[in-house]
């Protein structure tokens, strides 16, 4: 496993305490998992994706990631409707390990974009990981 100094962070993202990230313009948002999360999981072998059109509240489980180590739930950082899923992950879930910030999991239309302000900045996320 990587040391904190070896982890990759993206300054333009917002993070959750459950290690998801969010990016977007407010009209739609892409959601994925952090470098820390993929590192902790190990080799990801399966991604369970939700149906396009499904709606979830903030903090709701929207899918799972299965790795050689464990199965981990993934949670929606803000409530909204799933408008797209990253179909490439169905055939190649390891893409998340290769580039966790370049390979989003779902794209959502947020129900309340102001929920973004409740997410962690990159500095706050680093502090969380330092414990």
Please count the structural domains in the chain: 1
Report pTM: 0.96
- Taking only the tens place, the pLDDT of each residue in 15-39 is 999 999 999 976 999 999 999 999 9
What average pLDDT does range 50-54 have in this prediction? Answer: 98
Residue 61 lies in a domain: yes
Residue 10 lies in a domain: no
pLDDT at 14 (0 to 100): 97
- Taking only the tens place, the pLDDT of each residue in 60-95 is 999 999 999 999 999 999 999 999 999 999 999 999
Residue 126 lies in a domain: no
pLDDT tops 90 at residue 7: yes
Give the separation between CA 50 and CA 61, rounded to whole angstroms.
10
Contact 108, 29 (CB under 8 A): yes
In this structure, the strands spanning 29-33 and 106-110 are antiparallel
pLDDT at 25 (0 to 100): 79
Residue 82 lies in a domain: yes
Alpha helices in 24-110 (DSSP H): 35-41, 88-91, 95-98
Residue 34 lies in a domain: yes
Q: Which domain covers residue 95, as residue numbers?
A: 19-118
Provide φ and ψ at 130, rounded to 5°: -70, -25
Residue 3 lies in a domain: no
What lies within 8 Å, CB to CB, of 8 at 6+ separation is: 35, 100, 101
């Amino acid at each position: 496993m990587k040391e904190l100094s070896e982890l990759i962070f993206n300054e333009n993202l917002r993070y959750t305490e459950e290690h998801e990230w969010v990016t977007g313009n407010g009209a739609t948002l892409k959601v994925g998992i952090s470098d820390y999360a993929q590192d902790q999981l190990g080799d990801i072998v399966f991604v369970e994706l939700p149906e396009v059109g499904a709606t979830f509240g903030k903090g709701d489980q929207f899918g799972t990631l299965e790795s050689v180590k464990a199965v981990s739930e993934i949670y929606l950082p803000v409530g909204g409707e799933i408008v797209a899923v990253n179909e490439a992950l169905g055939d190649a879930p390891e893409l998340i390990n290769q580039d966790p910030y370049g390979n989003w999991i779902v794209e959502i239309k947020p129900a309340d974009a102001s929920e973004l302000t409740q997410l962690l900045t990159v500095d706050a996320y680093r502090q969380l990981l330092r414990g």
